[in-house]
Amino acid sequence: MNKYDCIVIGAGPAGLGATLTLGRARRKVAIFDNGTNRNRVTQESHGFLTRDGIKPQKFKNIAIKELESYPSVSISNETVIEVNKDVQNNLFLVNTTNNKSYITEKILLATGIQEVFPLSQIREYYGKSLFSCPYCDGWELRDKPLAIIAENDDHIIHMTKLVYNWSKDLIVFTNGHQLFNKIRNDFESKKINVYTEVIKNLHGDNGYLESIELKSGENILRSGGFVVPSFYRPNKFAEQLNCQFDENGGIITDGAGRTTANGVYIAGETEKAGPSSLMIAAADGNKVASSINMDITIDRF
């Protein structure tokens, strides 16, 4: 069985960026990807210098093509299901759904996060006309009649104030959540209407929102908007490897990607279980890969 210097789990921008840095450092590295990155539904990614507006899959394809230039890098389209620590030999055993096993000295968790929406139907529009990041997609929706869909006071206030920079034509939908009068008054002073009624349905064509139907049957015309999902890690690798968590559910690190579990590193959205931009995640992968390479160097010198 081949032994790797590092196995990277997850081929989002963090995992890909880390793998590139490790490949250039002449480390034997394998990156595993099962195509479940959450931006796969997005039509365009924005804010990454020289790649503004690129489709996420194209971005990924370019990155993988670059990795193929480095002979010490292996790319595997497999799903990792289990990671175990061989304490005696100070190694990790990685098992996949293909009934294959791999051995490595270091593990980098870059599996990202997934969303849970206040309405399951949002998934049909997500990435085309409903989004979660105004910095990523606010420009494309500027000055359009937009909806804010959220169910938590703090989330509603934050998202509404932020999106107001891109469009003044806003309506807030709380899906049954009651807002304090002060919040409603603040919004209404900016001519932002608030509907606290439960949402019955979303209407549109091919992922492009046209209206929001309330439980009463009233239909409010909207052509897009922003939602506030909750996020979760789609696996328990950090728990399996005995990483420590903070009180907010974030994985504790030294600030350079090293977790409290020796030989286990974290990069990108996985660390805080919160969203990040392509550029920040890619930079984080680069930073953590430097930590991995330095630790390997010290171990072997």
Q: Residue 1 above 90 pLDDT?
A: no
pLDDT score of 255 more than 90: yes
Environment class of 189 (CB within 10 Å of its CB; exposed 0-12, middle 13-18, buried 19+): exposed
Q: Write out pLDDT tens, residues 10-45.
A: 999 999 999 999 999 999 999 999 998 888 888 899
pLDDT of residue 40: 85
pTM of the model: 0.94
Average pLDDT over residues 63-91: 95
Summarize the confidence of residues 221-243 as an average pLDDT. 96
Q: What is the chain's mean pLDDT, rounded? A: 95
Tell me the mean pLDDT in the region 101-111: 97
pLDDT of 258-278, one tens digit each?
999 999 999 999 999 999 999
Q: What is the pLDDT of residues 145-184, one digit of tens each?
A: 999 999 999 999 999 999 999 999 999 999 999 999 999 9
- pLDDT at residue number 42: 86
The mean pLDDT of 206-223, rounded to a whole number, is 97
* Average pLDDT, integer, range 232-253: 96
How far apart CA 268 and CA 161 sit, in angstroms, is: 26
Instruction: Write down all domains in the chain, each with its CATH number in brackets.
Output: 3-113+233-300 (3.50.50.60), 116-227 (3.50.50.60)
Task: Please give the pLDDT value at position 41.
Answer: 85
Question: What confidence score (pLDDT) does residue 88 get?
Answer: 86
- Of the pLDDT bands very low, low, confident and very high (cuts 50, 70, 90), residue 232 is very high
Mean pLDDT of 44-69: 94
Residues with Cβ within 8 Å of 87's Cβ and at least 6 positions away in sequence, in order, are: none
Report the Cα 254 to chain-centroid distance in Å: 21
